[in-house]
Chain A
Amino acid sequence: MSVCKGARWLPSALIAGAAWFGAMTTADAIPVFARQTGHNCQACHISYPELTAYGREFKLNGYTFGVMQPVPFAIATMQGLTEVSKNNVNLPDGTTSQTNDPNSRYEVQQSSIFSGGRLFSDNVGAFIQWTWSGLGGSTHSGIDNTELRVVGRYTPEGALAPDLVYGLDINNNMTMQDVWMGVPAWRFPWWGAGVPPNGRIGPPGPSASTIMDGGLAQRAIGIGAYAWWRKTIYAEFSMYRSGSGTLSFLRAGDSPQVVGDTLSGYNPYWRLAYSRDWGYNSVEVGAFGTHLKQHFLDGATGLIDGPANVYNDVAFDAQYQYNKGEPWVFSSTTSFIRERATYAPGFASNTNDTLNEFFIRGTTYYNRMYGLSIGYVSMTGSADPGLYGFNPGSTVLGAFNGTYDPVANPTGTGNPASNYLVFEANYLPLQNLRFTLQYFLYNKLNGVSGTDQFGNKPGDNNTLFAGIWWAF
């Protein structure tokens, strides 16, 4: 963007900014919901975005607690230095391929504008996020996790609290509507270097991921209903469809409808969870799943109604939190997703594949200020050279924008097995300011756990990240 073009926006941006700062009425420097409720982050978050029991109530009640804000906006910016262990790979022909990037880089990971909260009454609320992302040197701006809720409550005659909180929900990222942290949309790590190839510098990482795990984020739109009974049983059923037509505003700014994006009709997503609190403890066990049919371009007709991939995902999750506030807080989450896929002819080497994604994470905070987290992710599944990067037993081949030719190297195993650890240390001098030090440690990458015959190893991907997350 030229300076002149930018300058045109400057006056209106300044006016909007002044109006925004001027309209803030309390000293809560933190996003929309904190201003709406007057609470501190800690009321709803173990550490954002992980929700406490009260945070779950707030979300399931449609973000309606508190008083509607006249100018309900907040901003978060996340930036940091990413350093990857090695930024080149050894190729089978004996040469070394250098990626275009240096192996360390300071980036604005993303900046987001948040809006939403209570609308009109105790019955309508929203969570709206618009994100500008600068990862990998390419900038992008578009809608991020967004949902609208309409809620109702049933209080039996003579009771003093609702037995049932229920609602309708529209969202643009499968599982973002959930309140526990084992679902793909809210899994640790919540920010940082990220798992390649999501724009991260350096060689790419695991080739495989389940379709629930971000594959439909800001692409498919879910419409569903949920019920929360006596703070114990949570049940939800939603239908996901492609974000086209009337609902396309929920994918605004994001990639246009492309081949492979189009869900066939309405696809079910379900969720069941049991939650129990005692003392300062809170535990949840649950299951969720989806059955998705995804169409491809029909070369003959030019319509996106060609052959389809069918995905059947079933997952289990569990969470434990010990939340007394100060001095120590503990939380842990685990989930296991099993995906069975049936592919359209030519899409993959196999007709049917299975992919398993296991995740576990532990977090502790001292006085809400110093935090440590450890996460572990493990992928296993059917080997499918057609699908997973054509790697002939190599860690990182298939890395280079399709320049690697699978036909010339038909020996690829396509093993999707990967596992890695994520360590994170956090320091929050202010409740809305977070300093993070994060390290990704790869034990196994795309089927390789040692050193492959070309000298590449999973550790080449190990990544150190130091960043700042500031919300106001």
Chain B
Amino acid sequence: MTANMTRTALRAAIVSSALAALLVPWVASAQGFRVGDEDAPVAASLKTRAEKGAPEYAKHLANVWCSACHGPGGRGGPGMNQIFPILAGQSAEYLEAQLKSFRALTQDEVTVNHETYVERWLINITGWRKVYTKERYPDATRYEERAWDFMKGAARDLDDPTIKALAAFFSGVSTPGGRPAEGDLARGKALFDQGDAAKGLLPCSACHGADAHGNGPIPRLAGQHKDYVFDQVKFIKSGIRQVEQMAPLVQGLTDEDIEAVAAYVQTLN
């Protein structure tokens, strides 16, 4: 009888502590968290960041989370999957701008666009596919599906110092260098270095640099995945990705041109 009671008490204690372990953090994290408070998710990540400082926290995030797709230090993900760009050695200013653009896909969802419970409820119920437009998210520049699939969420809870630190971190990692690529490399090199006067195309090197290493807000292309560059130029051309300065310059490029340039830049160190 006593043994039974002890066992029952023990079980009750274990089960209730398990439940408490599950429930307490939810309740705790909910404290000070108001619906419509756009700082709330950021505040949650700040707790960790404050403990470590932005650079340490960024390094930790890069190690644990970013590396799952972008690879160690952003030097290429599993199998060099070309969906995920190489971040290592990329311009810090460019990376910072991109992360902020991804974050802009989420930051005003609650406070600006969906004031009412009913509206928010409808959006949650329906999943509301592909609602990311310039009208809704004026601060964003990237509306391609993949940005929405992955990076919108990954950037959602980052505060400015963390974004800056992440950009600095990846920028400081050595690049994996150029890799062989299939395609019309001669045509790619010609387009990159000289453009095509007959078609009125400016050389890419005018902005991205003769070595394609980029400069400030202009991204490094050297050693970037061919497919990634190809897709992005297409997105910029069609306006899914908005780059004011570049969009008019790429309108004259055919798919073959874009592929040739993309292949060429992958081979650059």
Contact = CB atoms under 8 A, between A and B. Distances in A.
B73 A160 contact: yes
Given A25-B41, A71-B30, A277-B79, A42 B149 contact: yes
B83 interface: yes
A198 to B, nearest CB: 29
A277 B44 CA distance: 34
B148 to A, nearest CB: 6
B148 A119 contact: no
Given A25-B40, A67-B44, A68-B25, A245 B126 contact: no
Nearest to B124: A29
Interface of B: 7, 10-11, 14-15, 18, 21-22, 25-26, 29-30, 33, 35, 40-41, 44-45, 62-65, 67-69, 71-73, 75, 77-83, 106, 109-110, 114, 117, 120-121, 123-129, 131, 145-146, 148-150, 152-154, 156-157, 173
Contacts of B152: 38-39
Interface in A53-111: 53-54, 57-58, 61, 65-72
A30 B114 CA distance: 17
A71 B34 CA distance: 12
Contacts of B75: 160
Interface stretch (A300-308, A388-396, A430-438): A430-438
B156 A38 contact: yes
Interface of A: 18, 21-30, 34, 37-40, 42-43, 53-54, 57-58, 61, 65-72, 119-120, 122, 126, 153, 155, 159-162, 231, 245-246, 249, 276-282, 324-326, 429-433, 472
B128 A27 contact: yes
Contact of A40 (B25, B117, B149): B149
Given A65-B64, A161-B73, 14 more contacts: A21-B121, A22-B35, A26-B109, A27-B128, A28-B124, A40-B150, A66-B153, A67-B41, A67-B156, A245-B7, A245-B11, A280-B82, A281-B79, A282-B79
A277 B80 CA distance: 8
A24 B22 contact: no
A38 B153 contact: yes
B128 A325 contact: no
A246 B68 contact: no
A431 B157 contact: no
A61 B25 CA distance: 19
**Which of B109, B124, B126, B157 lies at the interface centre, i.e. has the most chain A CB atoms within 10 A of its CB?**
B124
A61 B64 contact: yes
Q: Which 6 pairs across A and B sit closest by C-beta, in order of nearness?
A: A38-B153, A277-B79, A160-B73, A161-B67, A161-B72, A70-B30
Contacts of A231: 78
Contacts of A246: 10-11, 14-15
A23 B26 contact: no
